[in-house]
Amino acid sequence: MKNINNGAFHLLAWSCIILFFLTGNAAGSEPKQRYTRTVEKYTVPDVTLINQNGSKIRLRSFLNSDRTVILDFIYGTCTTICPILSAGYANLQNKLGADSAKVRLVSISIDPEHDTPEVMKSYLKRYNAKSGWDFLTGSREDINAVMKAFDAYVLNKMSHYPLTLLRAPDNDRWVRIYGLISTSDFMTEYQRVFRR
Strands 48-50 and 56-58: antiparallel
Q: Which of 19, 34, 58, 172 binds another protein (CB under 8 A)?
A: 34
Q: By CB under 8 A, what part of segment 144-183 binds another protein?
A: 156-162, 180-183
Phi, psi dihedrals of residue 151, rounded to the nearest 5°: 50, 45
Count of residues near another protein by CB under 8 A: 55
- Please give the single-letter amino acid code of residue 180: L
Handedness of CA 113, 119, 123, 124 (dihedral sign): positive
Q: By CB under 8 A, what part of segment 92-151 binds another protein?
A: 111-114, 116-118, 126-128, 137-140
Q: Interior CA angle at 46 toward 121 and 161, to 5°?
A: 55
> In the bound complex, what is the minimum distance in angstroms from residue 17's beta carbon to another protein?
8
Q: Which residue from 163, 165, 116 is spatially nearest to 137, judged by alpha carbons?
A: 116
Q: Which of 47, 63, 70, 78 binds another protein (CB under 8 A)?
A: 78
Q: Which residues are at the interface with another protein (CB under 8 A)?
A: 9-10, 13, 23-31, 34, 50, 54, 75-81, 83-84, 86-88, 90-91, 111-114, 116-118, 126-128, 137-140, 156-162, 180-184
